[in-house]
């Protein structure tokens, strides 16, 4: 290599290194921005109308490269809060009541950037399984300096006829007292249906879920900026 060739040689290497640096920086940024939403389906039907609505939300989240996980409470052992207040004594981000799935659910909530709580409408309210999860995870969160603070939360409700807004409010009460951030949609997050699959015929309900997913993704990214 002559002296006259050396500038070109070093220039080429600088360009290659610069390209590699930019590529790695972009790749690392994408890895850092990787987000996840976990949803809890409180329905007794694993693949019923409530799950269909949640998956409509998930479809939009996945378009934005957000990971999703659906936890089915159906058939799982879960009991209500015993008001022992051990969570305030221990402050270990866990419920003192063992032997069911609640602590696994709490761990998934902590790891996620967004949380969806979904339920059918039972006597104008949410299912008892989802209420048990709310009561116990909410108490644990309060005992640990509002550990769900500024996570994004969204409620999803399946209903046959009436009572959905009360059920919707029940879930939002949990989000707001936990200092979480709640996105809106084009309507309240409700889908109409009785038999499994009926909600697929509720065009407005499906559109509402898709809009919710898009808004949830946008909000999560804004919070992370």
Residues 6+ apart with CB under 8 A from 41: 50, 51, 54, 70, 71, 72, 73, 74, 118, 119
> Would you kindly state where each structural domain of the chain is located, as residue ranges?
1-33, 35-224
Task: Provide the CA 216 distance to its chain's centre, in angstroms.
Answer: 9
Q: What is the pLDDT of residues 33-46, one digit of tens each?
A: 799 999 999 999 99
Per-residue confidence band for 222, with pLDDT thresholds at 50, 70 and 90? very high
Mean pLDDT over residues 75-88, rounded? Answer: 96
> What is the per-residue pLDDT for 195?
97
φ/ψ of residue 28, rounded to 5:
-65, -40
The answer to whether the CB of 48 falls within 8 A of the CB of 196 is: yes
Q: What is the pLDDT of residues 107-161, one digit of tens each?
A: 999 999 999 999 999 999 999 999 999 999 999 999 999 999 999 999 999 999 9
Radius of gyration of the chain (CA): 22
Among residues 162, 154, 165, 161, which one has the least CA distance to residue 211? 154
CA dihedral for 127, 128, 133, 135, sign (positive or negative): positive
φ/ψ of residue 118, rounded to 5:
-125, 145
In 127-187, which ranges are E strands?
A: 152-159
Task: Provide the CA 18 distance to its chain's centre, in angstroms.
Answer: 38
> What is the per-residue pLDDT for 182?
98
pLDDT at 21 over 70: no
User: 35-224 architecture in CATH?
Assistant: 3-Layer(aba) Sandwich (3.40)
Mean pLDDT of the chain: 92
Task: Provide the CA 21 distance to its chain's centre, in angstroms.
Answer: 34
- Whole-prediction pTM: 0.86
């Amino acid at each position: 290599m002559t002296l006259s060739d050396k500038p070109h040689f070093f220039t080429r290497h600088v360009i290659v290194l610069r390209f590699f640096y930019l590529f790695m920086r972009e790749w690392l940024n994408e890895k850092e921005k990787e987000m996840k939403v976990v949803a809890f389906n409180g329905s007794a039907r694993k693949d019923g109308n409530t799950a269909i609505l949640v998956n409509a939300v998930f479809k939009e989240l996945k378009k934005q490269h957000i990971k999703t996980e659906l936890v089915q409470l159906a058939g799982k052992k879960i009991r209500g809060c015993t008001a022992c207040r051990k969570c305030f004594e221990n402050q270990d981000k866990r419920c003192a009541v063992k032997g069911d799935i609640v602590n696994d659910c709490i761990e998934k909530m902590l790891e996620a950037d967004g949380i969806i709580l979904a339920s059918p409408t039972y006597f104008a309210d949410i299912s008892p399984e989802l209420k048990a999860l709310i009561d116990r995870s909410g108490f644990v969160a309060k005992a640990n300096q509002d550990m769900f603070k500024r996570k994004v939360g969204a409620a999803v409700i399946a209903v046959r006829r009436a009572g959905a807004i009360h059920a919707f409010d029940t879930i939002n009460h949990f989000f707001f007292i936990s200092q979480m951030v709640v996105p809106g949609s084009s309507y309240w997050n409700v889908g109409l249906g009785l038999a499994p699959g009926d909600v697929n015929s509720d065009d407005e309900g499906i559109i509402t879920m898709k809009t919710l997913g898009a808004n949830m993704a946008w909000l999560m990214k804004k919070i992370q900026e």
